[in-house]
Chains A and B, each alone.
Chain A
């Protein structure tokens, strides 16, 4: 697949000496939804701001659709839309006017039909002439997305789009993001909510302390790093894990009624058959069993902690 953004050896050291990015390499494919995950202060926003031209890089390069983002900044910036993390709004302006302004600022001729379409897709059309200060936080968030889409960008950055947004609006925004991808827009999403990446992203990148520590297809990542857990509800409580089971990674619950067995899905042999056989031989019976897979959130926490 052809990358729409390619970031090479990108570093950023702020004036105070803080190194926010350390030689970041990253490629974003055309038309994908890319989830950029990382704890607070990991460098997510710095990375986005450099690509968009708000922050100047220290070294490295950012190529967007074949154009360098400093030398050919007009070409690159007109292709990008950015929805920032905070909610900065022009208090006394109306949603319609700010969208019209954004479109002009990004060098596109007026197109009332497009603005109407964008505002309607975000359920803002009936609020289009209200002053921004009258709008709720969720509405302001929508207006910022509408502004970013007003100039028909090929690449959309959503920096924590659902921070502080209620459940319903979150679902709405996810639908908007999916619809955008359908229309061919590449979406780069940063988020704290791993669930969001899990729901939306095609690929996931994890950034920690200014370094990209992992980029992987979401499904593959979950398959490879996702641990499975088998829980056995015992018919009779145990005081301790019986001898002879040392070879298995077993865990006994405090009250002795449950045995937990962890296994990797990528392993050739999960060991389940052998374990169940051994339990049978040892005369340990169970009433029920269930398996569960770790979520992206658990994977993420483990990755970040491993780095620390």
Chain B
């Protein structure tokens, strides 16, 4: 294992994040605060409690998920796409590293950033609403696993994309709708039965539901199922990345 390489990649990626601190950290915090003002305070005051939780508090886990999913994808997809675009990737390809070091460096840095952002949003939210976390360990587990697996997904996206358009189209056309329809702002049980069934085909539902369970112990699907989905998603991404490096898909001619 080439530990120096992991450190080099991780350090460089974290430095890049610090250089763009406004875009990386201030932006997600601001947008989350806006969600709280609009959905929590303005609209939320008109909405009844959901399963004994005020609407403002109910959306907190969903908002954290929304942010860490989009941030993880955009960070790691950009981290690998940009060297491909500029040509500097030649160095990574000619370096004595396997996909393990590359992932620990790039995905580790992207996931770290997401976890930090998740923490910041959680503390920001605590200024607006009362939050109590019923199962902190499970909450942390979801936070880490989802950050890591969406960073992996972003990495795959960055490898696959051969233009800026592809890089942005997946988050906007696939991930955002799935997240918004995945119960960020509502409980699936509020939907008509037919749409509840449709929703169960949306993998994001399981992730948000499980994360929300760790806060309030109420969930749209069983917590075990949610955990299984997270691990399943993580495993799928790992297999794809392993295959990408094994075959050199879009990396090596």
* A and B found bound together: yes
Q: Is the CB of B253 within 8 A of A14?
A: yes
Which candidate, A1-9, A96-104, A167-175, A293-301, is the interface stretch facing chain B? A96-104
Kindly state whether residue A15 has any CB partner on chain B within 8 Å.
yes
For residue B87, CB closer than 8 A to chain A, the reply is: yes
| Contacting residues of chain B (170-213) with chain A, CB-CB under 8 angstroms | none
- Among B4, B16, B93, B96, chain A packs the most CB atoms within 10 A around the CB of B96
Question: Smallest CB–CB gap between B124 and chain A, Å?
Answer: 28
A104 in contact with B7 given A56-B252, A56-B253, A77-B94 (CB within 8 Å):
yes
Residues of B within 8 A of A103 (CB): 4, 8
Chain B 215-253 near chain A by CB (<8 Å), digits 1 or 0: 000000000000000000000000000000000100011
- B97: chain A residues at CB < 8 Å are 105, 107
A152-196 at interface with B (beta carbon < 8 Å): none
B10-44: which residues lie under 8 A (CB-CB) from chain A? 11-12, 15-16, 19
CA distance A102 to B19 in the complex (A): 20
Known contacts A15-B253, A55-B253, A107-B5: A91-B87 contact under CB 8 Å: no
Apart from A82-B91, A103-B8, A107-B97: 9 A-B pairs, beta carbons within 8 A? A49-B253, A53-B94, A82-B94, A86-B87, A97-B15, A101-B12, A102-B91, A105-B97, A106-B96
CB–CB B87/A88 < 8 A: yes
Q: In the complex, which residues of chain B have a beta carbon less than 8 angstroms from the beta carbon of A308?
A: none
Total residues of chain A contacting the partner, CB 8 A:
37
Given contacts A86-B87, A88-B87, A91-B86, contact A73 B96 (CB under 8 A): yes
Kindly identify, within residues 46 to 84 of chain A, every residue whose CB is under 8 Å from any CB belonging to chain B.
Answer: 49, 52-56, 73-78, 80, 82, 84
Contact A100–B2 (Cβ < 8 Å): no
CA distance A88 to B96 in the complex (A): 20
Interface size, chain B (Cβ < 8 Å): 25
Q: Does the CB pair B86–A55 fall under 8 Å?
A: no
Q: Please, which residue of chain A has its CB at the minimum distance from the CB of B89? A: A88
Q: What's the Cα separation between A109 and B4 when bound, in Å?
A: 7
Beta-carbon nearest neighbor of B252 in chain A? A56
A91 to B16, CA, bound (A): 11
Flag if B95 contacts A106 (CB, 8 Å).
Answer: yes
Beyond A14-B253, A54-B252, A86-B87, is A101–B8 a contact (Cβ under 8 Å)? yes
Check B95 against A77 for contact (C-beta < 8 Å): yes
Contact across chains for B252 and A55 when beta carbons are under 8 A apart: yes
Q: Which of A54, A86, A93 meets B93, CB within 8 Å? A: A54
Is A105's CB under 8 angstroms from B91's CB?
yes
Q: Which residues of B lie under 8 Å from residue A73 when comparing CB positions?
A: 96
A74→B2 contact, CB < 8 A: yes
Cβ distance A19 to chain B, nearest Cβ, rounded Å = 13
Point out the residue from B9, B12, B15, B94 that lies within 8 Å of A54, measured CB to CB.
B94
Contacts of B11 in A (CB 8 A): 101, 104
A292 to B17, CA, bound (A): 62
Let me know if A89 is at the binding interface, CB within 8 A.
yes
- Selected contact of B91 from candidates A56, A78, A147, CB within 8 Å: A147
Counting from the closest, the 4 A-B pairs by CB-CB distance are: A104-B8, A88-B87, A74-B96, A77-B96
Report A291 CB to chain B, min CB distance, Å: 46
Most buried by A among B4, B91, B248, B252: B91
B66 CB to nearest chain A CB (Å): 29
Q: Known interface pairs A15-B253, A74-B2. Does A105 touch B8 (Cβ–Cβ under 8 Å)?
A: yes
Does B90 lie within 8 Å of A106, measured CB to CB?
no
Contacts of B87 in A (CB 8 A): 84, 86, 88
How far does the Cβ of A240 sit from chain B's closest Cβ, in whole Å?
Answer: 58
